[in-house]
Structure 1
Amino acid sequence: MGLKKHERLAYRLSDIIVRLNNGERLDIFELADTYKVSIRTLKRDFQDRLTILDFSEAGPQFYCLNAKKIGYLDITDIKRFANFASVQDLLPKIDRQFFQEQLNQSILVKGFDYEDISARTNEFKAINQAITNCQYIEFDYYKISGSGSGSKHHYLEPYHLLNKNGIWYVVGCRYGQTLTFCFTQIANLQISTKTFACSEDIKEKILGTDSLFFGNQISEIVLQIDAKVAGYFERRDLLPNQELVRKLDNGDLLLICKDVHPREVVPIVQYWIPHIRVISPSEVQAQMKEVLKNYLAK
């Protein structure tokens, strides 16, 4: 199956960056033939998407990096930058600036729809700097609930700014527990001068999961996908931490979601009814049936 548009773009940009990083002098006409795209598309790559790179020669035909910058990117940097550059057109302007300034793992993207945080630029930037410097932050956190508003004060080791499904979150640690806070519900932010020892294990844990419910997950949820819609789940991961167990003879899929919270899986299952069901834990399927039964009874 062919790659999607942003995946093709990420592949092309990765390859271009690798070649530039290796010291090559790239000819835009040769690139057009190699990647089967127009000169206009490639000019947009260089002029809009790759402007952060330090070019010693920047067109109109030839492109190469400043000699001092050749070889300074490793493969992780290249992949992260190419993935960002392939979706940056979907980001609000202020978010594009943050990514271009940092290009580091303190900002983590999970999803391609973004809320506008331009009114809180300074706070966002301050948290990002605190993450970089391993500084504690403290703030009041306002939960959104039907029972009224209230706040609680938090003192946190910040690790990542994460965007999932359009919402920005601050992920951090306190007393050994990983916690997640919605950025726009944070108030009275203060950056402490005190620093903490950053844990690589915690960083890897945050990077390695699609879940936001750190410490509150169940080990696995097994689901069966109807063959009629199986292609959608094979094409890309529609469920958090989705893995294929096997494809059944009738075309159905058995999928497993590891280390997730039911609240992250159930809404997606409900969206795909009647083509998906929870095999285990059985109580998740039973609870979902009860909710639907009560809804239909109203």
Structure 2
Amino acid sequence: MLDGMHEHDKIAQRLGMLLTRLYSGEKLHLSDLATEYNVTVRTLQRDFNQRLSYLPIEHRNQQYWLDPGFLNHKNDGKVRKLAEQLGITDLFPHASEHRLGQLLDRGNPSLFAIKGFDVQSTDSLSHQLPVLEQALTQHLQCWLITKDQRKQLFSPYQLVNYKGTWHLVGVSEGRLQAYPLSSIALVELSQQTFTRDALIQRQIDTDPTLWRSGMIEVLLKASASIAINFQHRPLLPEQEIVKTLDDGALLLSSRVLDANQILPVIKSWMPELTVISPGFIHEQIVRDLRHLLTLMSQAPP
């Protein structure tokens, strides 16, 4: 089930499945799980004893389950809080605790299923997470060194996943800023603390323009043969249909904070999806294709 995924994606997928099954009241046996997820028993023990250690998990004879007393109170707002954090409450009209809870209930056939979350690689988060957690919990200022070698002192407020991309949000030089983690090369802690401002946190929670500052607008053309896919639902970040051409092709615009947000999508639809502007994204695709051809030419027959 998890073949072909990056290791961190496999872990996240496996933990999500384990959580769902635990919350449904299921008792999980390590040997069965090892076969099902193609991992060792030791890996699963690490999942339960370390990665899920914040839950009241009980175990005996290689079986693991959630404390029944905890399960009896699982609908006291925790489900809604998790749904809000995952951004799925808007998927349901008048989302109730009961309706959201059905997503976790494996005892009966579920009325709902959610597939295909648009989540990008978490490499940039996993590399920086320990130092960022320390800075955020202890209210420590830190030095951000970006991949273009800029360095600035930053007061971090929150890690925010905006449309699949993780950002570090905070204040630098008196201005609220949101940095995609993919643009940060290194985070260095200082010993200087700062005082959080409730007004700034409110702006982070409510101001949509925060995510548009510094965005790159990309103009693309989708051929008529694939146009229906982009008309059916947005496949590009911040996608807008600019114009439908006479031959059925589409002019599309997309706004991204980092070119890496859109490059994989473009490549997956080539050659039917082409970049009109900006030039540097087109040039990056050409460089990547040349590199791929070089690697293929060097591969043994």
- TM-score with structure 2 length normalisation? 0.48
